[in-house]
Amino acid sequence: VALHAGHGISVGNVDLSHSTRMTSGLLVLCLALAASPAAAVAPRHLQPKLSHENVEAMPMFTYKQDCTSKHRASLLAQQQAKGEIPGAGIDKFTPYASVYKDGFYQVECVKDLLLESGDKFGDGKYRYTLGDISNVSIVHYADTVPKEDQEPMSPEVCFKFCRTVPDMGYFGIHNGRDCYCTLYYKAMESDSTDCDAVCEGSPTQICGGKVKSSIFGMHECADTAETVSEAKSKLEGMKGSLHDVIASLNASSTDLQHTGEGIQGLAGQIFGDPWMANVMQGVKVYAGVLEHAAEDGVKAAMALNDAVAGLEQVKDDDFSSFDGVKAADDAVEVAEKTIAMVEEKTEELELLLGQANPTYGDEAEKAKEQYVPIMYFVDKALLNSVCTGDGKMIGNPYIVQNENGCAHHCNSKIHECVGYMMTPVAHMPDSKLCFLFEKFESVQTYSGCIGRDLTGGNFLQARAAKQDPEPIVITKVKFSKFDGATLKPDPSGKCDICLKKWTDRTQCPV
């Protein structure tokens, strides 16, 4: 056995690093070495010989999370390893009455002595030779389960039968359909053929070959109640994060929707700024994206609640019965899929929320000091004017706590962003809506509003400061990108960085 750093595992000369078996390769290997009775009966290297690269090989499959770590090392396990449980497969039992094993894993592709000479009651009873050796027998699915109840064969079908047969440690599938349970297996000398028969009940899986059997080990841990409890606790622990991100997305969506509606109406109808009105239409569309994302989160939360209810329903069942374990398995399977889905959905929603309403640390402090009003490079007399910008925007707007946050996000896109425009956010007086720009093409200023006390809810002015009130709609550029240049519109069209248009309102429309 070789472990290759960064590449995976090889067993003998078989490389598992690029196979679907690698999904649980290391765990399969550990289990096979630790629990395989065949290791005591006939020590040999594991050499999976599954052919057909387009057919799926069986990875480790368990019904319990991390159940293999609790594989019991008891007298029973030691006896199984030596084939020393007289009566295994011989004593009468009722299939599907009790469950003794919780999972399975693929071990080998071999010609099995137990299939050839270990059948005491079936078609191979005349070849049975184990009476004086171990007095055990294999148990055939086809000979035990009524024909009308039989299912098309697959590893899962065979396992669900064999795990209810007392004392069995392995199961094998031969020729695509013949399932048998066995205390142990023993590889015989054989030809070079592979396990290449497609399972009747699962065309993407291999179920032995004409000569050899696909051998699977089973393990027991009896932790059904614990697994149900752990799955339920995990789901309930995820509720808080999912609820928080849904609530935050809904709040951001509502604020953006109201902001878009309010500024769009003022800009289009009162201030004659159609481009600003169009920008706010985009804000409303973005609000819809956040709203729909929150709705998806609600659906995930409903699925989470359903999964919890399913676990609650089975938590007090009798897990020594087949029906009890089957119901628990089904509920846990739903829970595990739901956990994966909720984790993915929560991460997706948190990413979207982070894009709309990002957080930042000390690195944003004083970031705005690198920026000046765009009018600094057009007409310095209008530095304190309300100013809206038009041009090529970068992505969706951000909700930021202050101008430093907006400047910080522009700095993070150092090769794209040349400046930003900020507007107020409805219902969030301490936040701003930040638009990043790759290029500015036109601006509109309101020189008639400079110094005006515009309180009373108007979106253009932040507060009624007595001296030089700061306009709440501002457009700024990074000083270092335009130092020594002018952005004043150039009628000749020869200036690439210059604005194409600048409009000033000398009368304040309020």
- Which of 220, 255, 288 finishes a domain? 220
Domain range enclosing 117: 60-220
Distance in angstroms (rounded) separating the CA atoms of residues 103 and 60: 9
- Listed residue (135, 78, 70) closest to 102, CA to CA: 70
Query: For residue 37, is it within any domain?
Result: no
Query: For residue 381, is it within any domain?
Result: yes
User: Does 395 lie in the same domain as 348?
Assistant: no
pLDDT category of residue 31 using cuts at 50, 70 and 90: very low
Query: For residue 31, is it within any domain?
Result: no
- Which of 357, 377, 403 finishes a domain? 357
Structurally, the chain folds into a number of domains equal to 3
User: Does 81 lie in the same domain as 187?
Assistant: yes
User: Does 154 lie in the same domain as 86?
Assistant: yes
CATH assignment at residue 331: 1.20.58
Distance in angstroms (rounded) separating the CA atoms of residues 246 and 258: 18
Residue 47 structure tokens: 């050499």
Query: For residue 50, is it within any domain?
Result: no
User: Does 293 lie in the same domain as 203?
Assistant: no
pLDDT, tens digit (0-9, with 9 covering 90-100), for 65-97:
333 333 333 333 333 433 434 345 557 788 888
User: Does 293 lie in the same domain as 188?
Assistant: no
Query: For residue 52, is it within any domain?
Result: no
Query: For residue 184, is it within any domain?
Result: yes
User: Does 272 lie in the same domain as 193?
Assistant: no
User: Does 340 lie in the same domain as 479?
Assistant: no
User: Does 330 lie in the same domain as 368?
Assistant: no
Distance in angstroms (rounded) separating the CA atoms of residues 447 and 386: 7
- Extract the runs of DSSP E, i.e. beta strands, from 379-473: 386-393, 398-400, 419-424, 432-446
User: Does 305 lie in the same domain as 240?
Assistant: yes
pLDDT, tens digit (0-9, with 9 covering 90-100), for 446-488:
888 777 655 444 444 443 333 445 677 899 999 999 999 999 9
Q: pLDDT higher for 410 or 269?
A: 410
Query: For residue 24, is it within any domain?
Result: no
Query: For residue 29, is it within any domain?
Result: no
User: Does 344 lie in the same domain as 237?
Assistant: yes
User: Does 441 lie in the same domain as 297?
Assistant: no
Instruction: Give me the pLDDT at residue 410, please.
Output: 95
- Which of 198, 220, 242 finishes a domain? 220
pLDDT, tens digit (0-9, with 9 covering 90-100), for 387-411:
899 899 999 999 998 899 999 999 9
User: Does 122 lie in the same domain as 179?
Assistant: yes
Mean predicted lDDT score pLDDT of the chain? 78
Encoded amino acid at 284, one letter: K
* pTM of structure: 0.57
